[in-house]
């Protein structure tokens, strides 16, 4: 993500992410599970804009607009109050830098909520970048990543570049180079899932303490070789069975994608969005049209970025 100047304002596109591999390495400590996950950005974007207050008043405001591209996704629980991650990020940066938060944020939402797509975390990272520029702070990306870790587990990832293997709570980031462009179909069903509730259904017997899995190394090796079919054998999400206990939509989406001829299909994050790894952009568009006719939710044909 890189902010750019538009007249006197700053704007940035905040991408969604997909988890192509998600393993739980152990039971919770201090309230958090230790994870190992491969995350890639995709071309589904929110847009965030910051402009200064013409009146010169202190304090930040946030206005939210829903893009028409959001389809039947619901944003009813999205608030523009102080608990929104955009304003939390701005307030935290102001505290650390000794700057009084000021200006107006405008957020155009396209990334569905409670989907495992990281929209809120991406928006928070975007807010840090915009405020860093708009307020003339000049912090490095590394410094912003340290601040981001206080805001949310996935926020530091969006300040890194490209794909990455993330461990711990998500704050330990290992950038991954050499991956090919991947084509996806993403479906967000009519319901969302709470991350905390999904983790509460996780079978602790399946997440005894363990070292990093060799499976992720095999996945990365196959991807770098362009052997996407082989890579699909290693893609998995340990949270998918837990999410399936909470909603029948996961099973419905799995059945739909099993008929699309994709390399692999799995839930992303803690759900409820489901992803198919497609053979080409053309096949992704064709499969997206097919799935859109099944009335399974909001459908996106997209690619890694």
The secondary structure of residue 176, as a DSSP letter, is -
Q: Are 35 and 170 in contact (CB under 8 A)?
A: yes
Alpha-carbon span 262 to 152, nearest angstrom: 32
Alpha-carbon span 79 to 64, nearest angstrom: 8
Q: How far is CA 59 from CA 56, 103, 189, 250, in A?
A: 10, 7, 36, 42
* DSSP-derived secondary structure for 47-58: EEEEE--TT---
Residue 154 bears catalytic tag: yes
| Extended beta strands in 52-182, E state | 59-66, 102-109, 164-168, 172-175
Catalytic annotation, pick one of 13, 17, 46, 123? 17
Give the count of beta carbons closer than 10 Å to the beta carbon of residue 39. Answer: 25
Residue 109 bears catalytic tag: no
Catalytic annotation, pick one of 13, 46, 123, 154? 154
Q: Is the dihedral of CA 71, 45, 67, 198 positive or negative?
A: positive
Alpha-carbon span 265 to 232, nearest angstrom: 8
Alpha-carbon span 193 to 263, nearest angstrom: 25
Give the catalytic positions in this structure. 17, 154
């Amino acid at each position: 993500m890189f902010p750019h100047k538009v007249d006197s304002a700053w704007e940035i596109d905040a991408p969604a992410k997909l988890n192509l591999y998600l393993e739980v390495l152990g039971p919770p400590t201090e309230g958090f599970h230790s994870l190992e996950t491969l995350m890639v950005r995709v071309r589904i974007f929110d847009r965030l804009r910051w402009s200064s207050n013409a009146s010169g008043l202190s304090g930040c405001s946030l206005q939210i607009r829903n893009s028409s591209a959001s389809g039947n996704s619901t944003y009813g629980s999205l608030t523009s109050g102080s608990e929104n991650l955009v304003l939390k990020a701005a307030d935290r940066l102001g505290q650390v830098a000794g700057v009084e938060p000021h200006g107006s944020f405008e957020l155009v939402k396209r990334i569905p909520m409670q989907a495992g797509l990281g929209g809120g975390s991406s928006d928070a990272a975007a807010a840090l970048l915009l405020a860093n520029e708009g307020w003339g702070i000049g912090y490095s990306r590394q410094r912003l990543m340290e601040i981001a870790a206080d805001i949310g587990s996935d926020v530091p990832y969006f300040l890194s570049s490209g794909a990455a293997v993330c461990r711990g709570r998500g704050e330990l980031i290992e950038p991954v180079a050499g991956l090919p462009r991947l084509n996806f179909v993403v479906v967000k069903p009519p319901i969302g899932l709470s991350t905390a509730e999904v983790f509460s259904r996780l079978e602790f017997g399946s997440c005894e303490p363990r070292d990093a899995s060799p499976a992720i190394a095999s996945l990365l090796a196959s991807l770098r070789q362009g052997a996407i079919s082989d890579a699909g054998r290693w893609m998995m999400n340990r949270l998918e069975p837990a999410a399936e206990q909470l909603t029948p939509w996961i099973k419905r989406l799995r059945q739909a994608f099993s008929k699309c001829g994709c390399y692999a299909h799995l839930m992303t994050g803690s759900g409820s969005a489901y992803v198919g790894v497609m053979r080409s952009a053309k096949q992704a568009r064709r499969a997206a049209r097919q799935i859109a006719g099944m009335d399974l939710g909001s459908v996106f044909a997209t690619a890694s970025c």
